Amino acid sequence: MIDLFNELPFFIGLPIFMILVAVLAAIIYLVSNNLVRNHIKKEHERVGRILFRTSASLLALILSLTFANQRVEYFKIKNGLEIEAAKLVDVYRDLDLYETTEAESLIDELKLYIKITVENGWTSIEKDAFSSKEVLQFMKIYKRIHSLQAENEMQVRLRNNMLSDIDDISDYMQIRLYTALEEPRELLYTSIFGILVVMVLFSVYTPDKLNIFFVTMYNLFLGLVLYFIIMMGNPLKGPLQIKAKPFQLLAETIIKNEARN
């Protein structure tokens, strides 16, 4: 089901997901109340209310901490992509200053790598991360930079700079590759179980119109938070997918630079 929401646009998938969570939770609440309402005594009602408040607070804490953690991981990938693009600019400039036939050839390979990334996005990474076009092209550049021959002091400095930058780029790329791998869905199952428990405990309250309205608002909010957690857990696909915009800007910058030269 999560794969289905990955295919839906944000403004369609989000409300559908929220409504789905709210409806399922309301059904659990009404069914649970129907099963226990003839057996509830005052002491049961008091215990149910205490446990409901405790469980609801615990569920909110789990979701808030998970949301904060997923947000950090999401923006780590996004910021890493910007840094990777900046490092590629440094490599491009150093190759341009290197002024050898091999360096000029490497510039063409670098432009091809940027083009592949912009055109493919993360599609090939999702299918086969370590054999994707981007990775194979990058490894070609990586090997050739390490085999560059320095003939003077300036080229030695430029080569050292490029070796440092290309190693950093490799690190950021590997982070993206690992992020593209399918993540376990324990969070989803834990949250569903938590909502189930909270709704069962809430069944000690009479399901009048106002209570149903309150619990619906609560579960719509839970659905909102849960949706963002799930979507940010897969930052290279879905409606919250991180775009290759830094690489697009990089490609435009290189084109403008070549036009001026």
pLDDT for the residue 123: 64
Q: Over 90: is that where the pLDDT of 174 sits?
A: no
Closest CA to 235 of 125, 77, 2: 77
Residues 28-83 pLDDT 10s: 999 999 988 888 788 888 888 899 889 988 888 888 888 888 888 888 888 888 88
User: How many C-alpha atoms does 252 have within 13 Å on its Cβ side?
Assistant: 6
- Cα dihedral 142, 146, 151, 153 sign: positive
Closest CA to 147 of 133, 126, 166: 166
Mean pLDDT of the chain: 85
Q: Over 70: is that where the pLDDT of 89 sits?
A: yes
Read off the pLDDT band of 261 (50, 70, 90).
low
Per-residue buried b or exposed e for 167-188, using 16+ beta carbons within 10 Å of the residue's own CB: ebbeebbeebbebbeeeeeebe
pLDDT for the residue 221: 93
Residues 114-171 pLDDT 10s: 888 888 766 666 666 667 788 888 999 999 999 998 888 999 999 999 999 999 998 8
Distance separating alpha carbons of residues 61 and 57, to the nearest angstrom: 6
Read off the pLDDT band of 257 (50, 70, 90).
low
Read off the pLDDT band of 18 (50, 70, 90).
very high
pLDDT for the residue 78: 86
Closest CA to 214 of 31, 12, 56: 56
- By the 10 Å C-beta count (0-12 exposed, 13-18 middle, 19+ buried), 249 is classed as middle
Query: What are the Cα distances from residue 21, in Å, to 28, 120, 195, 196?
Result: 11, 34, 9, 11
Give the domain extent around 113: 2-260
| 254 vs 78, more confident | 78
pLDDT for the residue 116: 84
pLDDT for the residue 128: 65
Instruction: Read off the pTM.
Output: 0.81
Total domain count for the chain?
1
Read off the pLDDT band of 173 (50, 70, 90).
confident
Specify whether the CB–CB gap between 148 and 103 falls below 8 A. yes
Specify whether the CB–CB gap between 190 and 165 falls below 8 A. no
Distance separating alpha carbons of residues 169 and 87, to the nearest angstrom: 7
Query: Which ranges of 121-208 would DSSP assign to H, the alpha helix?
Result: 123-127, 133-146, 153-180, 186-202
The average pLDDT across 197-216 equals 90
Q: Looking at residue 132, what DSSP letter applies?
A: S
